[in-house]
Every structure is written in structure tokens, then in C-alpha cells.
Amino acid sequence: MRRVVVVIAALAVVMPASAGSAAPQRTSTAVIAVIDTGINPYHQEFRDRSRLAQQHPSTYLPGFPPSAKALRLTLDNPDFWASVRADCAAWNTVEPGRLYWIPGTKIVGAISMGENNSAATGAIDCEVEKPTGMPILDDSGHGTMTGSRAVGNNYGACAGCRVVGVQFSASALSAKDALDSVRWASANASWIDAQSNSWGPFVPAWVPTSMGNQLFTATSELVRTVEASGQAHLSLWASGNGAAFRLGAVGHPTLLTPHLTPSVLAVGGMDSGKVNTWAGFPPHLVSDSCNSWAAHHRRNTPDESDARVGSGTSAATPFVAGGAGAILSDARRILRDTRTGVRKGVVAKGRKGVVARGPLADGELTLAELRTVLQATATRRPVRQYEDGPPCDATSLTYGPTPVEWGQVPDQYPEYLHIGYGAVDRPSLALAGEVLRGRQPIPDRTATDDYFRTDRQIREATYQVWSTGL
């Protein structure tokens, strides 16, 4: 295939131990939890050949559970099914609800919530040509796609970031596993910097009673769980696809989007620099949402068809999460901070005066400041980036873009009505780097700030309703 050039420079820096020292390596990085259908650890997008990938994550991620068990897999076979067969016995040992890490990859955490998998019932058949049903391993493709959009070596926004795959079963009758996944990531905010959620209610309406607590219904319990995640660390949620999710213009959450609570970041889409109208809006931020480059769940190596794996706000959300991780990794590198997670509202801390001006001048970056930098530096008039993949077919009823390029939209048009602050892309991350170093001021986004200040007030008022129920 045509090799993808470095999409977003890896902003992490590895600090080697001194000569002759057996001390573990440390790194300035960020950790993104992708809550989805699992992950394909065999794909090269998640490969990490550094010494760091052979260390237990607790040696360089303060707060990471030392009890996490290494899941050692066959990573040198180019054939996916041959790899799975070789490791079938290992997959059979995976326990639901237990945290694992996968040596040789940037997957510092992998956990499967609930009992809805074959391993829990002893049903994995290792004698068949294509064994399936393993916990953690992605059978549907959605989770591998989202994970690679966040941290993939070629496809992700932050190649230097680490990822935690949090799996729940989309076929479960109850929302418990999904909510437990969100709660678990939030409870581990001391070392997980952000969570990416490319799922939400299929029925876009509030269900005020626990009797409606089925998967993908917006119950009060879901609403409360989502809001708590946004208060713990960055929590990003796909704003939804299709006409049913287009009534957000009066402020989130509306009757159609009760799970987009006051403290989370809603992510919408554009298509390779083109305006599209189907993605939920107004989101806070956007990224490419059709034919995005992403890893396939049943291949180990990149392929030309990967250019059509990612789609929808499902693909856009983890890319924005990875972009936030790239900015945070850069801030930590500047401040020489090798910790991850949120500590009393602070996400990076170092020596005062390392940077003369800007958000790092006082020697620390708060969660609120990170959010400000991420939003204010977003590209108001995005153009196609290579990582976007090819544009969508304009005749597609679901994902088709308009013929209008964002670069052709008059400057007077308020982009916040459609794409919020704008796109997280290479230009936005480059600008964020200049802001962190004090070389550029934080862009003035007064009009957009005012709009979303009102939007938040509406969401806070409606949250008082959505969070209560029987």
C-alpha cells in the first residue's frame, strides 16, 4: 500500500535510564481509554518496539494497578487468524473484569466488562480455523477502528499516546456493562487522561425510569454516569449521525441528545474538508467522519482498504481524543512531567518559568486550560488532511458531504452553528504547540465562547431534569 507518512508527530519523549542503571524508562505521554467493542492487538497500528512496551505500565504510569496481568501474544505473524489460533489457549485464560496489558504494544490496558463472552462460559473452540468469542479481542471491528484513530502509528492523532481498550458487549440486553465501562474509566482518572465514547442511545429520547434501562436508551442513570465522567477527566462523546440527531442547535442536551451532558465534549464531523449536514450539531469539535484511515479488526498489517474503515462521528471522536492527548503529551514534555492522569484538576506540572508566557508559564496545565487550548486552536475552516482518507461519495444518503468546501465558506458565517470550535487536525495541533510554548497567544474565540456558554447553561438546566428519574 502507499505508506502513510507521519500524520501527527509523536509528541512523547522517552527518557532513557542512565548508563548501567536498571531503572525503568519513563515517558511524557497521555493515556486514552477507548470504550467500545474491544481491540485487535495484533494490528501493526498498535505495535511498540521500544523497551517501554516491555515494562509493566505501573513502572511509568503512577497509579496504574500493579495487579494488571501481562497478556503475551504472538505479534510476529502477519496472518490474523494464525495469530489467534496460536494464542487461543492464552485467550482462554482471560477473566472478565480483570485488567491486562499487552507487551510489545501501546495497549497499556485491556479489560472486558461483564460475563457476555465465550471465555466466561468456556465456549471458545480452539480447534476451528477461525476461533472467535475472546474477551478483549474485537469481533465487530468498531473498537479497533476507534482505537487506531486515537493512537494508531499511522492513522491516529497521537502515535506517542497509550491506549486502554475497555470492552463491553453491544448485544447485551442491559446497559450495565456499558455503564460499568464508563465508571471504570472515570474511576481510573488518576492515570487515564481521557475517555472516548463512540456510542450512545439509539433511541434519541429520555427514559426517566429504570424500567427502560436497556442498552442505548438515555436513562437518568446513563445521564448521571456520563456527567460524572466529564468531571473526572476529558470525556468525549460522539454527537450522533443522521437527521434524528440534528436538533442540537438549541443547546445540548435536547430531547434527542440527553446523554450529552454539561461537562462532556460532543464531537461531530466534517468530510475531508467538506461540509456535511448529517452529523449531530452543534458539537464542540469535529474531525473527519467518512472513509477515514483506520485499522481493520481482522488484519495484522495496513492495507489500502483501511482508507474506508472509519466513518461517522464514531471515527471523529477518538481522533479528537487523540488530539487532546497529543497536546497534553507536548505540555508534559515541555514541563518534563512523566505522570499521567488528573490530580486536583491539574494534568501537567513542572517548573515555573520554563515558558515565558501562555498557559504553561506558571508551571502547570489544568484540565480546564487543556480544554481551552484544544478548543481555541481548532481549525475554523478545515481543509482535507491525508489522514482523513478519500472524501465520501456525495450520493450517499447517510454520510454524503455537500459540494461545499469549508475553505469556501465566508468568514462571516459562524462556524459554531455547525462544527463548534472547528476541526482537530494537523494545523490545529501545530498551533496548539505554538501556544504551549508561548510563541502564539491563545486565539480569540469570543463569539464561539459566548455561544457555548449559553449552550452550557441550557444543558445544565436540562440536566437537572434528565438526571432525575424513578
- What is the Cα–Cα distance from 229 to 201, expressed in whole angstroms? 17
pLDDT value at residue 285: 96
CA 11 to chain centre: 17
**Residue 193 contacts residue 340 (beta carbons within 8 Å):** yes
pLDDT value at residue 115: 64
Mean pLDDT of 444-456: 94
Find, among 184, 105, 109, 142, the residue nearest to 317 by Cα. Answer: 142
In the block, which residue shows the cell 451532558?
261
pLDDT value at residue 448: 96
Residue 101 has pLDDT above 60, yes or no: yes
pLDDT value at residue 258: 80
Q: How confident is the model at residue 352 (pLDDT cuts 50, 70, 90)?
A: very high
Residue 262 has pLDDT above 60, yes or no: yes
Residue 41 has pLDDT above 60, yes or no: yes
Mean pLDDT of 25-44: 95
Mean pLDDT of 57-69: 97
pLDDT value at residue 202: 66
pLDDT value at residue 19: 39
pLDDT value at residue 312: 87
Q: Which residues contact 128 (CB under 8 A, 6 or more apart)?
A: none
Q: Where are the domains of the chain?
A: 24-466
pLDDT value at residue 434: 98
Find, among 329, 208, 200, the residue nearest to 267 by Cα. Answer: 200
What average pLDDT does the structure give for the chain?
Answer: 87
Highest mean pLDDT among 148-157, 198-207, 233-242, 403-412: 148-157
CA separation, residue 94 to residues 87, 115, 119, 120, 180 (Å)? 11, 12, 7, 9, 18
Residue 257 has pLDDT above 70, yes or no: yes
Q: Using a pLDDT cut of 90, give the percent of the chain over it.
A: 64
pLDDT value at residue 11: 40
Residue 359 has pLDDT above 60, yes or no: yes
Residue 393 has pLDDT above 80, yes or no: no
Q: How confident is the model at residue 399 (pLDDT cuts 50, 70, 90)?
A: low
Residue 40 has pLDDT above 80, yes or no: yes
The x, y and z cell numbers of residue 291, run together, are: 472513509
**Residue 317 contacts residue 156 (beta carbons within 8 Å):** no
CA-CA-CA-CA dihedral for 247, 265, 37, 136, to nearest 10: -170
Mean pLDDT of 267-282: 81
pLDDT value at residue 275: 87
- Three-state secondary structure readout of the chain: CCCCCCCCCCCCEEECCCCCCCCCCEEECCEEEEEECCECCCCHHHECCCHHHHCCHHHCCCCCCCCCEECCCCCCCCCHHHHHHHCHHHHCCCCCCCCEECCCECEEEEEECCCCCHHHHCCCCCCCCCCCCCCCECCCCHHHHHHHHHHCCCCCCCCCCEEEEEECCCCCCECHHHHHHHHHHHHCCCCCCEEEECCCCCEEEEECCHHHCECCEEEHHHHHHHHHHHHHCEEEEECCECHHHCCHHHCCCCCCCCCCCCCCEEEEEEECCEEECCECCCCCEEEECEEECCCCCCCCCCCHHHHHCEEHHHHHHHHHHHHHHHHHHHHHHHHCCCCCCCECCEEEECCCCCCCCCCCCCCEEEHHHHHHHHHHCCECCCCCCHHHCCCCCCCCCCCCEEEEEHHHCCCCCCCHHHHCCCECCHHHHHHHHHHHCCCCCCCCCHHHHHHHHHHHHHHHHHHHHHCCCC
Residue 169 has pLDDT above 50, yes or no: yes
Q: Which of 16-25, 157-166, 321-330 has the lowest mean pLDDT?
A: 16-25
pLDDT value at residue 8: 40
In the block, which residue shows the cell 488528573?
342
Mean pLDDT of 394-410: 78
Mean pLDDT of 291-302: 92
Q: How confident is the model at residue 243 (pLDDT cuts 50, 70, 90)?
A: low
pLDDT value at residue 241: 77
Residue 267 has pLDDT above 80, yes or no: yes
- What is the Cα–Cα distance from 73 to 66, expressed in whole angstroms? 20
* Class level of CATH domain 24-466: alpha beta
Find, among 81, 144, 145, the residue nearest to 308 by Cα. Answer: 145
pLDDT value at residue 1: 41
